[in-house]
Amino acid sequence: WGGDRFAIYTNESAESFLMVLHTVWDTADDSTEFAALYPNYPTRLYGSSGDLQANGGECWQGEADLICLYQSEQETLIVRGPALELVLALVDAIFPEE
């Protein structure tokens, strides 16, 4: 791997959390392989397929939270949080549109 970073943010009063995992792979093929296989996890967890987002991600909605996956070149980003708007805002902060 080329490098990984993660962060977990909590909101104790709302009893919610936001988790971010950013992975940099050694090759674009490694990133693509991971992004092709990862959707099996949220699909099985939530029992539904993902929805493509306008910003290029794919998101799976559960009863209490959702997971979104983003992949580009040698990077993947996974964000898990309580609301789509919050997840999309975080993704935009990490990878602002150019």
H/E element holding 72? strand 66-72
Residue 16 burial (C-beta neighbours within 10 Å; 0-12, 13-18, 19+): middle
User: Residue 77: which region, alpha, beta or left (left: phi > 0; alpha: psi -120 to 50)?
Assistant: beta
pLDDT of residue 2: 63
How many domains does the structure of the chain reveal? 1
Give the tens place of pLDDT for each residue, 70-82. Answer: 998 899 999 999 9
Residue type, position 40, single letter? N
**Tokens, residue 24:** 């940099």
Measured CA to CA, the distance from residue 10 to residue 39 in angstroms comes to 25
Measured CA to CA, the distance from residue 68 to residue 35 in angstroms comes to 11
Give the tens place of pLDDT for each residue, 15-44. Answer: 889 999 999 999 999 999 999 999 999 999
Q: What value does the mean pLDDT take over residues 43-49?
A: 96
Range of the domain at 16: 3-94
